[in-house]
Amino acid sequence: MLKALLALLVLVPLVALAGGFVFTEWKTSQFETVYPNMGTRTDVGGYFLNSVDVPPGPNADLPPIVFIHGASGNLRDQYFAFEKPLEGRGRLIFVDRPGYGYSDRGGPENDTPAGQADAIARLLEKKGIDRAIIVGHSLGGAIAASFGVRHPDKTIGLLFLSAATHSWNGGVDWYYDLAATPVIGTVFRYSLLLSVGLGRIESGSQAVFAPNPMPPRYVAETMPGMILRPGAFYANAVDVSGLNSFVKTMEQHYREIAAPTVIITGDSDDIVAEEIHSVGLKRDIANSELLWLKGVGHKTDYVANGLAVAAIERLAGKPRDLQAMASEFHAPQSQQAASAK
């Protein structure tokens, strides 16, 4: 009887794990069927980066612009924010960072923002783009900052949107460290992560926008659930878990950035501490301008899209009074935020 009970105690978890693995394989395949690659994969040195390359129109008035998404995302996030507002005005490059979306992870050098910045620089070379405005949202800001430090000759200007770029006290959510851990992390990613994570996609996305409303079709268009695929989540976990130690070393080099820079941040960001990162960028980059937006959370790329476009225009040399625009900006509030007042 005892042997049977012990066997059952071992068998039940194994069956559950096997079921989770089968579900993960099926759901991953379903993701890629419903959301096929909308970009083109380019060999950047033994592995492929995926990107959407939107050509300029006949009356283009802006230089090439590169958009770098943050953690837990893919190129769709920035594409659906900026493609329509900037359509025809310049060549737009939306990149799946290494390991995300339909990009390969590449080698261990891509475990850091510096390596990912180098990968994007090689992508631009392959596309025949000499210089560009670099736009980074959230963790993508660390890649944009690294690009500005390491590739100044390719940088026309930098736009940081709710960027994560500086060291902070504390850690990250436990599941990032777990997912990046050898062996047990692999079991977690292939058996439990997707089944648990799917139920949090909608609420998690709303929390990233808070206290501002999330666009009704945001989840359907950008498909943040793609990050729950085991390989993509591993890349995400390594990036998030390693960010703090990386920026402790890299942030001392931000003073080398000479390119004109605009930093846009909300004062109600619960994801990235704006008083550390955005204020740090303003302190460290001499030729920079910081725009504070009252009542805005983490998604400045969507909530303050018009201001972000104006900042791109400024970086392209057009006269824009960004401070006046920021002071006059009125942030939309979600029903929950409005009712809490």
pLDDT number for residue 14: 37
Report the number of secondary-structure helices (H) and strands (E) in the chain.
Answer: 15, 8
| Structural domain span for residue 334 | 39-171+202-217+243-340
Taking residues 70-81, what's their average pLDDT? 97
Q: Is residue 270 part of a domain?
A: yes
Lowest mean per-residue pLDDT among 151-155, 229-233, 234-238, 275-279: 229-233
Q: What is the pTM of this model?
A: 0.91
Q: Read off the pLDDT of residues 328-337 as tens digits, 9 standing for 90 and up.
A: 999 998 766 6
Contact 164, 69 (CB under 8 A): no
- pLDDT tens for each residue of 106-119: 999 999 999 999 99
The strand ranges marked E within 198-300 are 261-266, 288-293
Averaged pLDDT, 67-79: 97
State the Cα–Cα distance between residues 162 and 138, nearest whole angstrom. Answer: 5
Note whether residue 184 is domain-resident. Answer: no
The answer to whether residue 6 sits within a structural domain is: no
pLDDT surpasses 50 at 16 = no
More confident residue, 309 or 29: 309
Neighbouring C-beta atoms of residue 85, cutoff 10 Å? 12
State how far the Cα of 325 lies from the Cα of 197, in Å rounded to an integer.
Answer: 38
pLDDT tens figures, 120-169: 999 999 999 999 999 999 999 999 999 999 999 999 999 999 999 999 99
Q: Which of 235, 192, 204, 231 is nearest to 24 (CA)?
A: 192
Q: Cis bond leading into 211, ω under 30°?
A: yes
Least confident of 87-101, 222-236, 252-266: 222-236
Say if residue 8's pLDDT is above 70.
no
Does residue 276 fall inside a structural domain?
Answer: yes
pLDDT one-digit tens code per residue, 39-50: 999 999 999 999
What integer is the mean pLDDT of 245-254? 97
C-alpha to C-alpha distance for 275 and 330, rounded to whole angstroms: 21
Give the domain CATH number at 110. Answer: 3.40.50.1820
Would 197 be classed as within a structural domain? no
In a domain, 262, yes or no: yes
Task: Report d(CA 51, CA 94) in Å as an integer.
Answer: 5
* Residue 52 in domain: yes
Q: Which residue has the higher pLDDT, 173 or 212?
A: 212
Q: Is residue 31 part of a domain?
A: no
pLDDT of 9 higher than 60: no
pLDDT at 185: 80
Q: What is the pLDDT of residue 191?
A: 77
- What does R_g of the chain's alpha carbons equal in angstroms? 21
Q: How many domains does the chain have?
A: 1
12: confidence class by pLDDT, cuts 50, 70, 90? very low
Q: What is the mean pLDDT of residues 63-85?
A: 98
**pLDDT tens per residue across span 178-200:** 888 887 888 778 777 877 788 89
Percent of residues, the chain, with pLDDT higher than 90: 75
Mean of pLDDT over the chain:
90
Give the per-residue pLDDT at 335.
Answer: 66
Closest among 256, 9, 226, 296 to 148, alpha carbons compared: 256
Nearest in space to 304 (alpha carbons), one of 341, 264, 274, 272: 264
